[in-house]
């Protein structure tokens, strides 16, 4: 049986909102954005109450592998999740090994429901599997990570891996997961014995990396290594295979504990990279005014998803809204990957705007 979902205590009350709008669902909001794009739209989630479910038995299933990355897996449905789209993703548990790793890394692969019908993702813009990791003091079971992944998996797959507090080792984890996805893709292609379609060729040219806090720094560094082919796990072929790189940076720790500004790795990213920052408006490690100045100096294109009332750990009040807001940020991030976020700045959570 999978672990029960936990919600951390919220932090101090959020400051009074500046604008006020009527509550609406994310699907309606994005439909409106497409017809009249603008800046600073506010998106307020509206979710059903979470219902407790009995976990189904775990079913073991072997997974083929090739190349340097190897994995062992089993899958099960996600227990007790709240989904505004009415469908819960399943999780495949993985242990991935790679030549660059001293020990295997544990992963959760969130699979989008096969019977999902949504306006968020279209066939044309179907995003590839996102590779994601947690913060320095967290795990892949941290509520902020799980909630984000549940929301993201409503329309696209996401593979989240467990790592240590060593930044360089965490970067290697991205390369190991990427090799695993390559191996799985090659196995499926050989089994089907069919040529890659134009859609598949287009997807092969996309790479989506992301992380929370320290994990987001590791995602940026992994992307830079792939682009520059400077890592032993990265080859020139790997770099050329992913001309379209998207980064989802949740709670990026722009301002360190000693007030050091961690902006250089962001400045080093080329204009071809797309970035989505997901930041709480009470995040002391990423003040929005400092982030705005940083974004203006970056060559890479970036957009910002602000979570109202959230701190660095994505804790909000009332605490029973934390899961709802976390899932909403995941859904909006998947929509951004699919090219459906029109605005430069989008707001999630809160009771509205003044």
Domains of the chain: 26-188+197-348 (3.40.50.1820)
Specify the pLDDT at position 120. Answer: 43
Is the CA virtual torsion 327, 153, 37, 294 positive or negative?
positive
Contacts with 102 (C-beta within 8 Å, 6 or more apart), sequence order: none
pLDDT at 158: 97
pLDDT under 70 in the chain at which residues? 1-87, 114-127, 185-205, 230-243, 351-354
pLDDT at 113: 75
pTM beyond 0.95: no
**26 phi/psi in degrees, rounded to 5:** -65, -35
pLDDT of residue 294: 98
Q: Which residues contact 270 (CB under 8 A, 6 or more apart)?
A: 227, 299, 300
Residue 130 CA to residue 128 CA, distance in Å, equals 6
């Amino acid at each position: 049986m999978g672990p029960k979902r936990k919600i951390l205590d919220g932090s101090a009350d959020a400051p009074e909102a500046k604008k006020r709008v009527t509550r609406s669902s994310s699907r309606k909001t994005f439909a409106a954005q497409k017809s009249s794009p603008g800046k600073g739209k506010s998106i307020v989630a509206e979710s059903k109450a979470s219902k407790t479910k009995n976990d189904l038995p775990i079913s073991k299933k072997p997974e083929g592998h090739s190349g340097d990355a190897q994995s062992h897996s089993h899958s099960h449905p996600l227990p007790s999740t709240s989904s505004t789209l009415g469908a819960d993703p399943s999780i495949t548990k993985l242990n991935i090994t790679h030549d660059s790793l001293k020990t295997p890394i544990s992963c959760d692969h969130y699979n989008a429901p096969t019977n999902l019908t949504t306006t968020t993702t279209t066939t044309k813009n179907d995003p590839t599997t996102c590779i994601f990791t947690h913060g320095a003091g967290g795990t892949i079971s941290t509520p902020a990570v799980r909630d984000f992944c549940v929301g993201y998996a409503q329309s696209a797959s996401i593979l989240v891996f467990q790592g240590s507090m060593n930044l360089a080792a965490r970067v290697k984890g991205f390369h190991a997961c990427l090799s695993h996805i390559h191996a799985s893709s090659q196995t499926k292609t050989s089994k089907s014995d069919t040529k890659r379609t134009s859609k598949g060729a287009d997807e092969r040219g996309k790479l989506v990396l992301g992380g929370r806090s320290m994990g987001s720094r590791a995602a940026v560094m992994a992307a830079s290594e792939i682009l520059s082919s400077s890592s032993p796990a990265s080859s020139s072929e790997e770099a050329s295979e992913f001309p379209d790189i998207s980064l989802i940076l949740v709670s990026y720790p722009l301002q360190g504990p000693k007030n050091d500004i961690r902006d250089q790795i962001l400045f080093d990213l080329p204009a071809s990279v797309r970035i989505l920052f997901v930041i709480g408006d009470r995040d002391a490690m990423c003040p929005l005014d400092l982030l705005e100045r940083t974004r203006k100096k970056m060559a890479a294109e970036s957009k910002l998803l602000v979570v109202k009332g959230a701190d660095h750990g994505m804790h909000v009040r009332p605490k029973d809204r934390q899961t709802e807001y976390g899932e909403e940020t995941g859904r909006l991030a998947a929509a951004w990957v699919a090219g459906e976020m029109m605005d430069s700045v989008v707001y999630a959570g809160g009771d509205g705007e003044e």
